[in-house]
Chains A and B, each alone.
Chain A
Amino acid sequence: MHELAITRNIVAIVDEKAAGRAVRRVRLQVGRLSGVEVKAIEFCYELCAEGTSLEGSELVVEEIEGAGRCVQCGERVPLERPVAVCPCPERATLSIEAGEELLVKEMEIN
């Protein structure tokens, strides 16, 4: 359940930037290949936010689809899992282009 540690980090980042102002909403980008469960972050969020400037705020998570590019054929391949091999005949390596995001995008404050 590393999402608890992840969520604590999110709250700490925003709480510091808010500098005492009340936060109404926090927006994240979480890639589908990042290894982090959005549901688990949502589960931990309210608890972690308690007693901070994020208390009572809404969490909005934008999930980013995974995609890789084949180093041989150049094809951009949508990825549901972090698999590193292209389905092309060469079965070449895919370099992952999207889906590994773990970012606090913005906060909305009063």
Chain B
Amino acid sequence: MCGTCGCSDGNQTTITGEQGDHVHVLPDGTVVRHSHDHDQEHAHDHEHQHAHAHEGGHRHHAYGPEAHGATAAIRSDTTVEPLEVQILAKNDRLAERNRGWFAGRNVTAVNLMSSPGSGKTTLLERTLREVERPVSVLEGDQETPFDAERIRATGAPVVQINTGKGCHLEAEMIWHGLQTLKPKADSLLFVENVGNLVCPALFDLGEAAKVVVFSTTEGEDKPLKYPHMFRVADLVLINKIDLIPHLDFDEARALEAIAQVNPSARILQVSAKTGAGMKAWYDWLDATSPVLREATA
């Protein structure tokens, strides 16, 4: 028996891992995991089981074996307060503030996300040169200003947000960036997120659309490996199609992989280097823009 939490005979508890991590499978199939250090030396390679039923509030493991009766009771000197708060509520609120800021100025914000090396900055450079409307950039990068310098060379206003060790942009960083960048009314704003196919997927920035850039050199199964990112995409840009003749890139498999995680995503194939397919991308940007939507309505 575990001397700290008292887990012992009973049902459906296993201990896994080295740090006293517990996984409970409750009768309804819910899996509960928690951990605490065990102050007694004992092997953790066995399955051991609980005597108490998990129901309702799941009062798990008040410290000490005495808490484990037939039903683990709340200790009388504590009170449970329900919170029911979304963990990302604050970011979502700030994203809504950004969205209002964009709407008030008719700025269309596009959040560009990809893994490092997908050609996102090259794509952006070409887009900034070829799009015929006011456009500015918020450039997210972990440390260096190189990408922002490349963008600045196109003549577009750019503000760099250095996230330091942060792996993604959050709504609050966008808000601060906007105060410095001050995008023009009726303009297009690109947010170049940190090169990362995991973390940025979770953080709403208040953008009008999320675009994931995925290059032919990355392998067709990338959407399946990073489903969270591809799931949130409004548009997937398959970049570097000029390299297809030199690669084993299976286009049908790539399209199928995207469709498996996000059947409603638009997919466009482009080469930011040669310019192939870029026209369709500009048309998509126009269609996403509230300016043109109003004009054609």
Contact = CB atoms under 8 A, between A and B. Distances in A.
Interface residues of B, number: 50
B81 A9 contact: no
Contacts of A25: 62, 78
Contact of B86 (A14, A84, A103): A103
B201 interface: yes
A32 B85 CA distance: 18
Interface string A68-93: 00000000000001111100000001
Contacts of A82: 227-228, 231, 261
B30 A62 contact: yes
A58 B36 contact: yes
Interface stretch (B97-105, B115-123, B162-170, B239-247): B162-170
Contacts of A27: 58, 60
Nearest to A37: B198
Interface stretch (B87-95, B133-141, B286-294): B87-95
Given A5-B170, A9-B91, A58-B36, A65 B30 contact: yes
Contacts of B86: 102-104
B253 interface: no
Nearest to B259: A85
Contacts of B260: 83-85
A10 B87 contact: yes
B60 A2 contact: no
19 contacts: A1-B167, A2-B202, A2-B203, A13-B83, A13-B87, A17-B83, A32-B31, A58-B34, A60-B32, A63-B30, A82-B261, A83-B260, A85-B260, A93-B264, A103-B84, A103-B87, A106-B80, A106-B81, A108-B80
A31 to B, nearest CB: 11
Contacts of A1: 167, 199
B262 A84 contact: yes
A59 B83 contact: no
B58 A62 contact: yes
B88 A9 contact: yes
Determine the interface band of chain A, counting residues with CB < 8 A from chain B: 35 or more
A109 interface: yes
Contacts of A109: 78-79, 81
Given A5-B166, A104-B87, A36 B261 contact: no
A105 B63 CA distance: 20
5 smallest beta-carbon distances between A and B, as pairs: A2-B199, A35-B228, A102-B87, A63-B31, A82-B227
A55 interface: no
Contact of B34 (A5, A60, A65, A81): A60
B217 interface: no
A25 to B, nearest CB: 8
A84 B228 contact: no
A102 B88 contact: yes
Interface in B47-70: 57-58, 60-63
A110 B259 CA distance: 50
Contact of B33 (A13, A63, A85): A63
Nearest to A1: B167
Nearest to B32: A62
Contacts of A84: 231, 260-263
Contacts of B36: 58
A102 B87 CA distance: 6
Contacts of B31: 32, 62-63, 65
Given A9-B87, A28-B87, 14 more contacts: A1-B167, A5-B170, A9-B89, A13-B90, A24-B78, A35-B198, A61-B33, A83-B260, A93-B263, A102-B87, A103-B85, A104-B87, A107-B81, A110-B77
